[in-house]
Chain A
Amino acid sequence: MNILGVAAQLISKRTVLLPSNTLLTVTDLHKSFGTLQVLKGISFSVKRGEKVVIIGPSGSGKSTCLRAINYLEAPSSGVIDLSGIRIGERQTSSGDWKRMSDAELAPQRAQIGMVFQLFYLWPHLTVRDNVALQPQKVAGMNKQDAYRLADEMLAKVHLSDKADEYPERLSGGQQQRVAIARALAQQPKLLLFDEPTSALDPELVGEVLGVIHELADEGRSMILVTHEIKFAREVADRIIFMDGGVIIEEGSPRSLLDKPRNPRLKQFLRQINSSGTSS
């Protein structure tokens, strides 16, 4: 084999290897509700182990963007690719891409953990069953293994002592930590947090952010929508600032928060700082 051939092979291998570092690619995402355009062409990617925080004023489309990633909000157009697999669409024999049904989407969604602002725990199940349900029903574990996994995940969020309680008996912060344990039990490739502390009393925010911080330190890939700027600075590898359905600016916490270039971002940061949400 000549040198050119070897080089060509190396290059082709390299091109194959390169994308494997990328976990999620979002390309030209659009979403409209009726005539209201909420997302106007969002593109970004997340590397394996990367922590991406999305900030922006309310109504900027950041939650919609997050919810589009697991197709809870099916985008009007755009492509979402999770480690080489297109989410929410399958190719027909004629080569067109067709929207999947919720049933077809289920195994894809199972790979993405999601934590909601309002927790959405299942009130008729104990905390342990809330966490063990996915492993049993989706991953097909037996009850014993699922409970073992659930207890492990509850230990991670420091709630081992609450396993037999029902969600309604827990504080908001505890409920949100159960919701995080539930997402972790999916053993997901990617974690999505949709304003996980916005519904909490101020004194309960810290315990939830603490748990998310620990997960970030474990090297988990995550996208977090939040108003907690100080927290974003601590955990984010990259911050994306959205406004009006587009990405206005993105970069490292330091560059974006300390040297914002865009006037809208500057104004947003000023408002956040003066309202005290960042403390």
Chain B
Amino acid sequence: MIPIDHILEFARPLAEAAAITIFVSVGAFGLALALGLSLAVLRDFHPVAIIRWLVQVYVEIFRNIPSLTHLFLLFFGLAYVGVRLSSIAASILGLGLIGAASLSEVFRASFESIHHGQRESSLAVGLTPSQAFRTIILPQAWRVALPPIGNYAVQLIKDTSLVAAIAAPEIMFTARNLVVNTFETTLVYTLAALLYLAICLPLSRVIRHLEVKSATPR
């Protein structure tokens, strides 16, 4: 028997929670993409060695410390020294900063996959290095980077469940509250699982479509 009345009761809070999950994901993804690309460019092309080294330090710090630790540091740690972030702001910032470290490595790998001759022929016709990067290297690297960026996006949505730990009212946080109040453990977590599926599956489809569309035309 399906407990329709319970489902209806849970639908509204879970839908609101899903909106928060999506909001945090989109915010973190935007930050990770913009910062990740900037970090990759700095790491590979900045003339000052210390800057390149600092980027490397950044990447190592975020790759080698668990996400949850970063989130706690941002939320509780900063609050302790007087900087109070809302749980949602801390979530977006934390996941975005972590994502930037991984995406910067994705972008770097994609730059390196482009044959050095592409840059040579760009410079030879008289493009400046930044023009060569923008018009020749990046558009090609983007195609290489797209599949891992897509994987990252799906992974990110799943990872937003972590921010339940800093009380951001996303799907898992809300689900746990509902369970605590109603003891409908199986039903609530099944609904949560279906919600994640409903968000991630269409996204995977869109990514696949983009990959096909941006593949080298033949």
Q: Mark A residues whose CB is within 8 Å of B.
A: 70, 72, 102-103, 105-114, 116, 118, 120-124, 133-134, 137-138, 166, 168-169, 179, 182-183, 186
Contacts and interface: CB of A to CB of B under 8 A. Distances in A.
B121 A121 contact: yes
Interface string B125-148: 111111100011001100100000
Contacts of B140: 122-124
Interface in B67-114: none
Interface in B40-67: none
A182 B118 contact: no
Contact of A107 (B118, B126, B139, B143): B126
Nearest to A129: B135
B123 A123 contact: no
Given A116-B117, A124-B139, A182 B125 contact: yes
A92 B199 CA distance: 60
A157 B38 CA distance: 40
Contacts of A107: 126
Interface of B: 115, 117-118, 120-131, 135-136, 139-140, 143, 216-218
B131 to A, nearest CB: 6
A105 B129 CA distance: 10
B143 to A, nearest CB: 8
Contacts of A138: 125-127, 131
Contacts of A137: 127, 131, 135
A116 B120 contact: yes
Contact of B123 (A72, A122, A124, A133): A72
A109 B123 contact: yes
B121 A110 contact: no
A138 to B, nearest CB: 4
Nearest to B140: A124
A109 B218 contact: no
A137 B135 CA distance: 9
A214 B218 CA distance: 31
B124 A72 contact: yes
Nearest to B125: A134
B218 A114 contact: no
Given A114-B125, A182-B121, 10 more contacts: A108-B126, A109-B123, A109-B125, A110-B126, A121-B121, A133-B135, A134-B126, A168-B216, A182-B125, A183-B125
18 contacts: A105-B123, A106-B131, A111-B126, A114-B121, A114-B125, A116-B117, A116-B121, A120-B121, A123-B216, A124-B139, A133-B125, A134-B126, A134-B127, A137-B127, A138-B127, A166-B218, A169-B218, A182-B121
Nearest to B47: A101
Given A103-B129, A110-B125, A120 B118 contact: yes
A248 B46 CA distance: 42
Residue with the highest number of chain B CB atoms closer than 10 Å, among A111, A116, A122, A124: A124
Contacts of A166: 216-218
A109 to B, nearest CB: 5
Given A124-B140, A137-B135, A168-B218, A106 B120 contact: no
B144 to A, nearest CB: 11
Nearest to B116: A120
A123 B129 CA distance: 18
A183 B135 CA distance: 17
Contacts of A72: 120, 123-124
A108 B127 CA distance: 10
A169 B217 CA distance: 9
A179 B117 CA distance: 13
A183 B140 CA distance: 21
